[in-house]
Amino acid sequence: MTAATGRRTVLVLMAVLTTVLSGCASLPSSSAPQAIGTVARGPVAEELPEPAPGREPSLLVRDFVKASTDPTDRHAGARQFLTPEAADRWNDGAIAIVVDKIDVLEESRTDDSIEYTIRANRVGQLDTGGQYRAEQGSFETRLTLVLRDGQWRIDELPSGVVMDRTQFLGSYQRRSLYFVDPTGTTLVPDQRWIAASQDRMADTLITLLQAGPRLSLEPAVRNVVNGLTTAQAITKADGRPTGVGVGPGGVRIDLGGASPLDGATRTLLAAQIVWTLARAEVSGPYVLLADGVPLDPEFPDGWTTADLAEFDPSAVAGTDVGLHALRDGSLVRVGSNGVTPVPGFFGTVNTMRSIALSTDGTLVAAVSDTGRPAPAPPDALLIGSYGGSAFPVAEGGTITRPTWGPDRDAVWAVIDGSAVRRAVRDPATGQVSLTDVESSEIAELGGQITELRLSRDGVRAALIVDGAVYVCVVVRRADGTYSLREPEAVAAGLASAALSLDWSTGDTVVVARAATEIPIVQVAVDGSRLDGLPSRNLTAPVVSVDATPSTTYVADSRAVFEIDDSDPASDRYWREVPGLTGARSVPVLPG
């Protein structure tokens, strides 16, 4: 993939929250994607959706678009709305476009023929393997209907499939494939949109795992499933076909070619498969075989997620470190007994602008006011130990909030809006070296970077560039240096500039935007969804956000607030964090 083709920028989101969504998307016409629902689908249903007798032709066109969301048996349901000749000609696999705000406009009409123009906002596109791509623009196409035996049917239509966004969200499911990070310790999500029925979900997901990650992610992850085959059909754990009968569930998968794998690799293989299936609501136990024999003799009757808990994608390191805050320029710990300054340098000075804790809480990185008059740089990046001393490692006109990598010995920051730097601490000597991160693809966006946050697996980075939110892939190069690649804008539908962001999960970013209405939103990394969080109790502007998979913390103009993502929607509101009111405070979590 060239740098140019790899930087296809996602400019808008498919949003549940339509008040935030801009409602447009633009889609290139040169690719040939397909809907993932065409992969490993079962036979066509006995009862297909039939056009209503005497249906008014413009409504029949809308019914056809609705039926096109079901890809079963080459969109057999949608073909019912076509003449037999058109059904034979229609190439439904050419492209799969998601639109909204559809208008059906009559262009010409005779007694037995009508030509319609369909105009809509392009919202997204499904590429091969259920990969969603969102862009911005308009959509227009033409259809011709003819009268056959007293009923209107579509006789001429373009190649490809057009799907209404609402129907797409109701028919397709967002699932994550999981691949292995470069260290072999963490699973990295790769979101896909799938239309397969639940009894075909295991087959579909295993097929997608075998095909591998999306191209942009390939250089940053490892796929242990690559090269393996399913030696036999995937069945229930007891050997019965999936979707047949009742009784015990689970799945049984015989992986051809897995025999040569060593024990550690087999564990990674099991982790990829088990967590991919479990997160897609395919229940265990997961009986995994290597060329007919148990993948691991310790699990002849199947694996569970508990057996692979160390790979749990929702697990967060550093939960025992607890919540901290930067209050009036000093680092404080927030506990059940109140707010207390941390010992050492970071708890005694009051000159820090931003701060970050390593995942284990033992190291601290901060951006501090140098206190020196111009032309000396006003910002300094400091690194030190929690409760100990600190020393400067870089200076600049501006330095973004630091972000720690998962290895706990490297902190990243952006100096002067463009230079991405990585400060690496040698755990043996404590010495810190400063290296450049290759970021030419980010520079080509042509803006100032005001925020950079690494995902917890270290494979992606979320950035704010001139108020727009981008997600890119972090690639470790052969010489040990790093590069940021494939930036994709995932939240252009914000309608307001992004001020701060953080990773909630491996595939979701929480964004604070400069808006009085709905200032906090959650954004999917593939640009497919944008969901607003409640705004009760918040006072704009919200200047900072920090998050875990279960809790989001923000700082507004008055205090620090938290919201529990597990609370029911009717009871979700922002609760004030005690001890952080009436002072300039921002929340600080490890990472």
39-43, 270-274, 550-554: segment of lowest average pLDDT: 39-43
Running DSSP on this structure, what letter comes out for residue 184?
Answer: S
Q: Is the pLDDT of residue 408 over 90?
A: no
Q: Is the pLDDT of residue 179 over 80?
A: yes
Phi/psi at 88 (nearest 5 deg)? Answer: -70, -35
**pTM metric for this prediction:** 0.87
Sheet holding 286-290, edge to edge: 229-230, 251-256, 286-290, 293-294
Query: Residue 34: its pLDDT value, please?
Result: 34
- The verdict on whether omega for the bond into residue 541 sits within 30 degrees of 0, i.e. cis, is yes
Strand ranges across the sheet with 403-404:
403-404, 410-415, 419-425, 432-436
Does residue 13 have a pLDDT over 50?
no
Q: Does the structure show a pLDDT above 80 at 54?
A: yes
- Mean per-residue pLDDT, 163-169: 90
Q: Within 13 Å of residue 155, how many CA atoms lie on the same side as its CB?
A: 11
For the chain, percent of residues with pLDDT exceeding 70: 91
Q: What is the pLDDT of residue 47?
A: 63
At 377-397, the pLDDT tens digits run 999 999 999 999 999 999 999
For residue range 187-219, list pLDDT tens digits in order: 999 999 998 888 889 999 999 999 999 999 999
